[in-house]
Amino acid sequence: MKKHADICLAIYNAGLIYLVKEEFDHIFLTLHKDEYDEYKSYFLAGGIYNIFLLWLIHGCKESPEQLASKLDNILER
């Protein structure tokens, strides 16, 4: 998402960020349909999306690797 951060920020500023959330849900559910049930898929997609949104709102300060590490730490517990 780093390479699309400018576009996502413009979408956020236009009040259309829910479109990105819908895409997160769709992609996550499609990729993990055989791995997780629908409730777990929506839960995980929402969490990952919210981490992305917080990163975006805070100015994309962390590198993608740092963000992935934070998310990994959150999911480990």
The DSSP result for 60-75, as a single string, is S-S-HHHHHHHHHHHH
The answer to whether 14 and 72 are in contact (CB under 8 A) is no
Total domains in the fold of the chain: 1
pLDDT (tens digit, 9 = 90+) per residue, 33-71? 899 999 998 999 999 999 999 999 999 999 989 999 998
- Chain centroid to Cα 62, Å, comes to 14
- Residue 49 in tokens: 């999306």
Q: How many residues does the chain have?
A: 77
Containing domain of residue 44, as a range? 2-76
Q: What is the pTM of this model?
A: 0.84
* Mutual angle of helices 18-31 and 38-57, in 10-degree steps: 140
